[in-house]
Amino acid sequence: MKTEKEKMIAGEMYSPEDEQLVKERTSAHLKAQEFNRSETDKERQAIIKELFGSTGERITVEPTFRVDYGYNIHVGEDFYANFNCVFLDVCPIRIGKNAMLGPGVSLVTPEHPLEAEARNSGYEFGRPITIGDNCWIGASATIVGGVTLGDNVVVAAGAVVSRSFPDNVVVGGVPAKILKSIDDK
């Protein structure tokens, strides 16, 4: 029988009120508060490396920053997240190398059932987010669970990305759509 945590990470219906999950979420929230109060980049980097599931050596995350659990977040080398980002990581969030996130970016993996009775039960599920190498996510963009962005994708400021996109495109709008292709030249 799977634990609620195992169900959560697998994207199955689970109870977020499970005792283990509540403790882990509370611990991550306290660690994020410590990060947000830290005064130096060195302190913040050490806390993020402890909080995240895996990171490259060279990463920068600006305060304030919010997470659900932290351990489901994996970022590559030369990762940068500007001020006020939110990563709700009930399922894995994987971000490649050389990624830049503007201020106020939200990566949101949790979802709730559409049917009211199921939604009111308190159970939820999630879907992972995967972002390729060399991506730039503009200010206040939101990326929801189930999305995969290829390499070299640019997401316009304020976009809501609710479906996946291939390599080398600029996407924007609500919901996001391809605005143009990126030529390597």
Q: What is the C-alpha separation between 72 and 40, in angstroms, rounded? A: 25
Task: Encode pLDDT of 35-72 as tens digits.
Answer: 999 999 999 999 999 999 999 999 999 999 999 999 99
Contact 161, 181 (CB under 8 A): no
Q: Which residues are designated catalytic?
A: 112
Give me 49's structure tokens: 């490396």
Per-residue pLDDT band for 177 (boundaries 50, 70, 90) equals very high
Give me 44's structure tokens: 């913040």
Has residue 175 got a pLDDT over 70? yes
The secondary structure element, H or E, covering residue 125 is strand 125-126
Q: In 10 A of CB 138, how many CB atoms? A: 20
Per-residue pLDDT band for 169 (boundaries 50, 70, 90) equals very high
Task: Encode pLDDT of 83-126 as tens digits.
Answer: 999 999 999 999 999 999 999 999 999 999 999 999 999 999 99
Contact 52, 65 (CB under 8 A): no
CA dihedral sign of residues 13, 32, 92, 170:
positive
CATH number given to 4-181: 2.160.10.10
Cis bond leading into 175, ω under 30°? yes
Task: Encode pLDDT of 133-163 as tens digits.
Answer: 999 999 999 999 999 999 999 999 999 999 9
Has residue 184 got a pLDDT over 70? no
Has residue 185 got a pLDDT over 80? no
The secondary structure element, H or E, covering residue 119 is helix 116-120
Q: What is the C-alpha separation between 155 and 138, in angstroms, rounded? A: 6
The secondary structure element, H or E, covering residue 143 is strand 142-144
Per-residue pLDDT band for 183 (boundaries 50, 70, 90) equals confident
Half-sphere exposure (Cβ direction) of 24: Cα atoms closer than 13 Å: 18
Which residue ranges make up each domain of the chain? 4-181
| Biggest distance spanned by C-alpha atoms of the chain | 53
User: How much is the pLDDT for 153?
Assistant: 98
Task: State the Cα angle at 128 between 37 and 30, rounded to 5°.
Answer: 20
Arithmetic mean of pLDDT, 20-35: 98
